[in-house]
């Protein structure tokens, strides 16, 4: 994968970043999924979950770092071999949390198809959905540049 730069519309993305940052804050003390460690070794399970949480936090930090002061000047984010996988994982974790905390009533099929009643949603849920779609789009861009043949056919 080469370096990929994407120019984003600041007016459209800035409000989504507020939702993403708030969701990241929600995830700071918890995993996006309930990790099931072997119950017979409580010390191992606690350490394993701590490492997973640390990894999740690091991945989200890499994603959020793309939206620094330079981003607010240029509107450009960049993906490269050093940040691609952490960003993919961070997007997944954030999307899982958005789904669980704000979008669960919509159902997985509606979320994945994008066919949701936007006009009927309250504003916070509409913003959560927009952030969910934005993160999914970032993932699609990354996957396409990781292996362009994935999206063919």
Domain ranges (residues) in the chain: 4-151
**pLDDT the model gives residue 150:** 52
Note down pLDDT in tens along the chain; length 153 residues.
788 899 999 999 999 999 999 999 999 999 999 878 767 788 888 888 899 999 999 999 999 999 999 999 999 999 998 999 999 999 999 999 999 999 999 888 888 887 888 888 999 999 999 999 999 999 999 988 876 555 454
The two tokens of residue 7 are 């120019």
Contacts of 65 (CB under 8 A, 6+ apart): none
Q: What is the dihedral of CA 20, 23, 24, 27, to 10 degrees?
A: -160
**pLDDT the model gives residue 147:** 64
């Amino acid at each position: 994968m080469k370096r990929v730069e994407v120019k984003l519309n600041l007016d459209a993305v800035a409000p989504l970043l507020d939702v993403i940052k708030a969701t990241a804050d929600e995830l700071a003390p918890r995993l996006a999924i309930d990790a099931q460690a072997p119950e017979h070794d409580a010390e191992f399970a606690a350490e394993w979950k701590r490492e997973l949480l640390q990894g999740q936090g690091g991945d989200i930090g890499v994603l959020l770092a793309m939206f620094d002061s330079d981003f607010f000047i240029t509107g450009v984010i960049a993906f490269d071999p050093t940040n691609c996988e952490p960003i993919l994982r961070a997007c997944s974790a954030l999307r899982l949390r958005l789904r669980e905390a704000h979008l669960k009533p919509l159902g997985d099929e509606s979320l994945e198809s994008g066919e949701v009643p936007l006009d009927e949603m309250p504003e916070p849920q509409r913003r959560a959905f927009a952030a969910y779609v934005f993160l999914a789009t970032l993932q699609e861009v990354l996957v396409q540049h990781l292996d362009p043949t994935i999206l063919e056919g």
